[in-house]
Chain A
Amino acid sequence: MKRRYGIFIIVTIFLVSGIMVGLVNHYYTFPYLYRYLIKREFSVNPKVPVSPTRKYQVRIWYYPFFRNIEGEEEKEFFRELARNVAQIFPNIQLVIREISFREGPLILKEAFSTGEAPDIYLNLENDSLHDRKWQLPLESFLSKEELAGIYVWEQNRGRKGTIWGWPVLIHRQFWLANGAISLPEQGDFFERTAHLPKESLVLNFADPTLLKQLLSLKGLNKLVDENGKLSGPTYSKFEQVFVWLHQLRQKQIFAVPSTTMEDLFLKSFFSEQRVLIGPVNPFLERFLFEQGKAQYNKVYLDQLVEVYTLNIFRQKKYQGDDHTRAVLEVARILAQNHGCRLAEELKLGRPLTQDGYPFPPTAFKRMLEITPDNREFWQETVIPVWLDFWQKGLTPQEVMERLS
């Protein structure tokens, strides 16, 4: 009798616990509860739905990707987005702001300092993490289908597996030749470019993407160690890149004086001389191909890609988990329904598993990201040395002394 009573109690406890867990799980997620209750840090409950009775404003900042006189195409792009959002969520209003390429990063930085960042930031840079305090991780908002449908999630994960941006566009990295250029089609990029003839290469070193490309091709995926310094392997990869560039300089592979090469970047490309130029960003790619020269040849940088993401931020005056959910729903519609229009305009790929690629999507390698933890080191130390390497003709030894 006693034993039966005991079993009954145990079963009841299990049942009640199950019901409790089910109930809790219905309204919350355990990672949320852990962060909120145990770690006592800011966290968003992803189970909170959009309230049908509340009016929401979702602020989107974007760079002028269409770039025409009246900006009419961009206006139409966002009008259509607003229409699509309104069909599902009539209580969500979009507030759109264009920011300039010249001031955009600075405006965003100022917005972080005042806690007034936008809800959605259409990011046309490869770096997906801007601010650890105000930026919201996305992994808890994504469905299994979404995780399966976009193949760069894994490459997009940051420290502790956090996903900081919703991938919308993918830009496979290449340099561009203005005619036939005889390079081996297979093999490591550095080995292939060893075959470049004299006076055939022009690099725009004013674009730091170039250094990121070369470091990534050497296998670097993390800039500094936990102490904010170059670790052994990282140091070695930096050194290899600078030695390679110095050798090119000594072998006179560059078509123009390397000290002013960035100024003559396009002039060389449009001259009679056969040259390979790099890096080529999406806007430059679009411009060059609109020139209509069929003989342009892409030299791919192995499987290196830049991924452009939607980033979600919260503000100092937090508007609630339901507002965050509303922001996520707008981001979802923007990424899923309008990503193809962006890709079409910018002549870029979409990071969708269903889209065909010449090799498995998992083979793509995301370019080195600069994060808030190492941004200062990158901008204050690496970039000045990088520029001096070109403009003042530093040797690799001098570069490495300054970097360490």
Chain B
Amino acid sequence: MKNNNYRLIIYLLGLIFLASWRIEAILPCQCQENRILLLQTPRMEGEDVFLLQSRLKDLNIYRGRTDGVYDLEVARAVAEYQVRQQLEPNGVVDAQTWELLGDGLFPVATAQKKQPPEGQLKIVVDLYKRILTLYNDGEIYQTYPVSVGKVSSKTPVGEWAIIGKSKDWGGGFGTRWLGLNVPWGIFGIHGTNKPWSIGQAASQGCVRMYNRHIEQLFDWVPVKTRVDIIGERLPISVNRELRPGQSGLSVMQLQDNLQQQGFDPGYRDARYGPTTVQAVQELESQFRLKVDGIVDWNVLFLLDLPKD
């Protein structure tokens, strides 16, 4: 009987592990609902605890280390904060406490009230400055501070497009969601329930905005609006043939190198589509190679893609 229980537990743990791995694989952006933080043994650790400590420090309630460990000192600071907010001082950071920690307690760059733009729209996210700029017919129309991906989960640099809009995601995604066509995962521009993280490299790869900002942007930008994300991307080596229809980081590197050498691959969206095919064919024609639009070894070498 005991053995059966163990087996069942192991089986369930295995399922949970597989399920969590699967979610990790298809949802690189983990800006979901916050977990509840409380004092327990072993101590809770993580990015959310780190952000909580930073926020409590900003509020001059917490003076300990910002090490991402939920210890007694953090629990005391949380209780003190709860007293201030007339909540039950139990030291547990639940949904209500999370909400109050962020909402309206500190200055938020407000979105100026403006008429909806009527021209050709384009969004540019500058990962260095952590600013999102909306362009209307090539002119700056509005800028917003944003939170971008951490070092370990960088926001995907490239030339994307909005492929979906949603109001129903909730939790860590805030009040609005603008999905991007990044081929290797689900990334988007969204609101947040951790507004103090705006301006920091704190997300799992998505672009976070204040809720009131994303609500404004959401109403203005239609699906298919172009989104350029500017930032650093380390070059990768490509040591295999690439063919039309493929997507991913290797294709992104191909598009980067084509552009650097003066061939126009279209949007650098990591998709080996018709414009990238044309750029490869142009290179093949210029060098008098077989013109088939396939990145074979000749093209790989001409674009300096293999690094070893």
Instruction: Flag whether A77 is at the interface (Cβ < 8 A).
Output: no
Shortest C-beta distance, B286 to chain A (Å), equals 4
- The verdict on A283 contacting chain B, using a C-beta distance below 8 Å, is yes
Q: Does the CB pair A265–B289 fall under 8 Å?
A: yes
> How far is it, in angstroms, between the C-alpha of A233 and the C-alpha of B246 when the chains are bound?
50
Q: Does A2 contact B (CB under 8 A)?
A: no
- Tell yes or no: B281 within 8 A of A by CB: yes
Question: Which of B281, B290, B291, B302 touches A287 (beta carbons < 8 Å)?
Answer: B302
Query: A101: CB under 8 A from chain B?
Result: yes
Once bound together, how far apart are the Cα atoms of A270 and B302, in whole Å? 11
Interface string of B187-213 (1 = CB under 8 A from A): 000000000000000000000000000
Contact B291 A102 (CB under 8 A): yes
A241 contacts B by Cβ under 8 Å: no
Nearest-CB distance from A332 to chain B (Å)? 28
Identify which of A61-69, A334-342, A359-367 touches chain B: A61-69
Is A206 an interface position by the 8 A CB rule?
yes
Shortest CB distance A282–B (Å): 10
Nearest CB to that of B298 among chain A residues?
A: A266
CB within 8 Å of B: which A257-273 residues: 262-267, 269-270
Beta-carbon contact of A67 and B261 below 8 Å? yes
Interface residues of A in 27-69 (CB under 8 A from B): 63-64, 66-69
**B90: CB under 8 A from chain A?**
no
Question: Considering the chains assembled together, what is the distance between the CA atoms of A267 and B305 in angstroms?
Answer: 12
Contacts of A69 in B (CB 8 A): 259-260, 262
Contact digits for A283-327, partner B, Cβ 8 Å, 1 yes 0 no: 110010000000000000000000000000000000000000000
Shortest CB–CB separation between residue A319 and chain B, in angstroms?
32
Give the contacting residue for B288; candidates A67, A207, A269; CB below 8 A. A207
- A100 contact set on B, CB distance < 8 A: 282, 285
* Cα–Cα distance between A101 and B283 once the two chains are bound (Å): 8
Contact of A102 among B259, B260, B261, B285 (CB under 8 A): B285
Contacts of A384 in B (CB 8 A): none
A71 interface residue (CB < 8 Å to B):
yes
The digit string for B246-290, where 1 denotes a CB below 8 A from any CB of A, is: 000000000000011111000000000000001001101111111
Which chain A residues have a beta carbon within 8 Å of chain B's beta carbons? Answer: 63-64, 66-69, 71, 100-102, 204, 206-207, 209, 262-267, 269-270, 279, 281, 283-284, 287
